[in-house]
Amino acid sequence: MTRDPLFDFTGKVALITGGSRGLGYEMANAFATRGADLIIASRKLDNCERVAGEVRSLGRRALAVSAHVGKWPECDALIEAAYAEFGRVDILINNAGMSPAYRSHEMPENLFDSVVNLNFKGPFRLATQIGHRMSCGEGGCIINVSSTGALMALPQAVTYGAAKAALNAMTVSLSREYAPKVRVNTISAGPFLTDIAKSWDPEALKRMALPLGRAGNPPEIVTAALMLASPASSFTTGALLRVDGGQR
């Protein structure tokens, strides 16, 4: 494809968690198509390898890493693997997450911990360790994928919404802590028709009353990620970009 100079990522290295499917897969493909080398991380290595193979078929380098990013030792191993392979990370996209529906008064502690760990604790570890390295080097950008669940009532998914709200707060604080070399921004995603949507109640989706009248298609996340990662957004940091069909 002919690359727009504003969105040419040739020579850049992007690390995407949850990069083997859903929104992460769409972003991985978009960055690779525009010249970036990729580190694809998720818990299932075979899925990561499949996506890495697709990236290599585009003429880019790719590294597949199995990592449960809710666990700090696995986050650290992911970081070390990325730097051993590429020597740097220019773009970090904290995309991995989970949002199980559960009655709040019945939620067991281990599930509470799992939700918080994957949606906040792990992204904090990756963002701080990689952000520090970026700030000591040539800089870079971090994109945290959050949810409208952090901005509105979310019955039976309170833990998820709270963890994503923490992620939003982290974005603002880290954008100051690692400035001026590192930009940190949030994409606040609404309902998207990824694999997880297959389990959604169609009537519940209708009740969301989205102004655009539908849920998002996964490729519709791409332009937000490209924009926030692009040098053309060099004056954008600490921002929250809603990609949610107008959901309120």
d(C-alpha 139, C-alpha 181), whole Å: 4
Type and span of the H or E element at 186: strand 182-189
Task: Quote the strand ranges of 190-235, DSSP E.
Answer: none
Token pair in block for residue 72: 């700090």
> What single-letter DSSP state applies at residue 120?
I
The one catalytic residue in 83, 102, 160, 178 is 160
> Residue 240: beta bridge partners?
186
Could you tell me if 2 and 25 are in contact, meaning their C-beta atoms sit under 8 angstroms apart? no
102 in active site: no
Q: CA of 89: how far to CAs of 14, 31, 63, 191, 212, in Å?
A: 6, 14, 12, 29, 36
Active site residues: 160
